[in-house]
Amino acid sequence: MTKNAIAAFAAFAAAAVFAEDGTNLLEKASDVSFDAGADLRIRQEIIHNAPQVPGGMVGRPGVYRGKTINHIRFRPRVWSEIKAGEHFRLYGRLADEFRAPITGSGNANNWPGEVVVDNLYLDGVGLFKDTFGFLDSVDFRIGRQDIYNLYGLKHIFFDGTPGDGSRSLYADMVRMGLAFSEDTRLDFFAMLNKDREYMRFGTNRSRYANQLSGMGGNDTEMDDWGFGTVFSSNVGFLDYQLFWIQKDEASFHRKGVKHPRRQINLLGTKLVPHWTRNLSTPVEVMAQVGENGWNESMSAYAGYAGVEWKDNEAKKGEWKPYASAGILLLSGDKDAGTEDGGRHAWDPMWYRAIDAGEMFLYGSNYAVAWWSNLIDVKGVCGIEFGRNHGVKLTAGPMFAETKDGLGGGDGAYKGFYSQARYDFPIWTAERDRGERFEVCAHVVGEWFNPGDYYATDKPAYYVRWQIEFRF
C-alpha cells in the first residue's frame, strides 16, 4: 500500500510540470542559471558521563560511567543548483563527516572513507497559478531532502538518518502541496528511509553501516517508510493544522533476535493562537494506534503545551529578546525493555532530534535519539543581536512518564538539564552586494544532574565549540 502511495505521489508531482493545455513548462523556462558553493564545519565535542550509552536497552548501565568522549568533527559539503525560470530548480549536495580523537575512550579514528549524496531533489513552485478557480498554486519537491521541522511539525519530523551522527538529516521523499489561499493549504508526502546508505562513493567504514536504528552492529536491518497528509489554515487569530501520518518499520534482526515489523498511524492537531503580535500559546495533541508483527495492537499518545513571547516589533538592527516555557509529554511503557519493546511507548516517528539536549542525542535510553517515555519541562530565554548572533539559555527538569527501569534506578525523575549557547559571526557577508563568503561560530555548554531514574548521581556535562565557513 505504501509503495503504491509513493508511486501515485510521484506521478502526480511529475504531472505538475505540464500546464492545463498540455504545454511543458520546462520548455517555457527560458532563463536557465547555474550556481554552486561549499561549506566546512569544524566542531570539537567533549562529553562526560552522558546518560545511557546508545547500543541497546536491556542490561545496559544507566550512565556512561566515568567515560569521556573528546573528538573533533569535520564536515565538508559541496552543492550546486540549476534554476529554470521561476518555477523549477534542481539541487544537489555531497557531504561527509569524519572525526579525529583528542583524548578519552570511545573514539574511532574515522578519517574520510566515503562521500554521500546528501541532497538531490527537483523543486517545482507556483505551478498551475490562476489555472483553477479553487486553487491558488501547486508546488512539489521530489528526491533526497532534509526533513528538519517539516511543515512546522518539529515533534514529528527532524532527522531521517540518526545513525550517521551529525552528517545529514535527509530522507528520500516526494512532497506535493496545494495552496488554496495565502493561509490555507493541503500537503501530501511519502518517504522511504533505507537502513543502509546506497547513494555513496567509497567505503562505509567512516560512519555506521545502519542509518536508522542507531543500535549498532552490522546485523541490524531496518527500513522505514511512511506517507501522510497535513492540512494547514488560519481562522482569525488562530493558526491550526490537522494531520494524519502512517509509518511502517521493516522487521529487523539484532544480535540474533528478530523484531517484527510495525505499522503506526498517527492522528494529531497543532493549534497556535496569537494573542498579540508578540505572544502565542502553541498546543499539540497526538495519538498513535497500530499493530506489531505479532498481531498485537499498539497505542500511545503525546502532547505539547507552551507559551512563547518574542519582540516582533523590533526594527531591523535592533535586539530581539524572546522567551518561552513549555511541557512535552511522550507516553512510555513499563515493558519497554522487553523483546518487543512494549506496546504503549510513543514512537517518535522521524523526531530523531536534539530537542532534549545535545548530550541526549548520544544517550537516549532506547537508541540514538529515540525519544519516548518523557516529560520534558523547559524554559528558554534569549536575545537575537543580529544575523548569526545571539545568546540562548535553556533549563528545566525531565521525568519518565512511566517507570520502565531502563535507567537503572527505581524512580521517575530523570534529572535537571540546563544549556547555555552563544552564536556569533566572525565574517559577515554583505548579501545585498552579492557577497557570499562568511564565517560564523558558536559555543555551547550543557549540564545534567541525574535523578532517581538513573543508577548514579554523577553529573554529566557537554561542551562544544564550532566554526563554519560558507562559500
**Average pLDDT value for residue range 378-402:** 95
Q: What are the distances in angstroms from CA 450 to CA 331, 417, 455? A: 20, 9, 9
Per-residue pLDDT, 268: 98
Q: Considering only the top CATH level, what class is 2-470?
A: mainly beta
Which carries the bigger pLDDT value, residue 52 or residue 72? 72
Give the DSSP per-residue string, 332-394.
Answer: --TTTTSTT--SSSPP-TB---STT-HHHHH--SSSTT---SEEEEEEEEEEEEETTEEEEEE
Q: Residue 155: exposed, middle, or buried by beta-carbon count in 10 A (0-12, 13-18, 19+)? A: buried
**Is 215 in contact with 209 (CB distance < 8 Å)?**
no
The candidate with the shortest Cα–Cα distance to 176, out of 220, 132, 225, 135, is 135
pTM, rounded to two decimals: 0.86
Is 50 strand, coil or helix? coil
User: Which phi and psi angles does 460 have, rounded to 5°?
Assistant: -115, 150
Q: Look-up: residue for cell 555551547? A: 444
Other beta carbons within 10 Å of 112: 13
Q: What residue spans define the domains of the chain?
A: 2-470
How far is 370 from 378, CA to CA, in rounded Å? 19
Q: How far apart are the first and last CA of the chain?
A: 43
- The predicted-structure confidence for 154-204, as pLDDT tens digits, reads as follows 999 988 887 777 888 899 999 999 999 989 999 999 999 887 777 888 765
The candidate with the shortest Cα–Cα distance to 293, out of 332, 254, 349, 341, is 341
Q: Taking all residues of the chain, what is their mean pLDDT, rounded to a whole number?
A: 83
For the record, the C-alpha cell of 84 comes out as 529554470
Per-residue pLDDT, 57: 41
Angle at 340 between CA 343 and CA 454, to 5 degrees: 85
The candidate with the shortest Cα–Cα distance to 346, out of 409, 405, 262, 281, is 262
- The predicted-structure confidence for 59-75, as pLDDT tens digits, reads as follows 444 444 457 788 898 99
**Is 333 in contact with 364 (CB distance < 8 Å)?**
no
DSSP state, 58? T
Q: Has residue 359 got a pLDDT over 60?
A: yes
- The predicted-structure confidence for 416-454, as pLDDT tens digits, reads as follows 999 999 999 999 988 878 888 999 999 999 999 989 988
Residue 12 banded pLDDT, cuts 50, 70, 90: very low
For the record, the C-alpha cell of 56 comes out as 541497546
Which carries the bigger pLDDT value, residue 404 or residue 267? 267
Q: What are the distances in angstroms from CA 139 to CA 18, 287, 405? A: 12, 29, 47
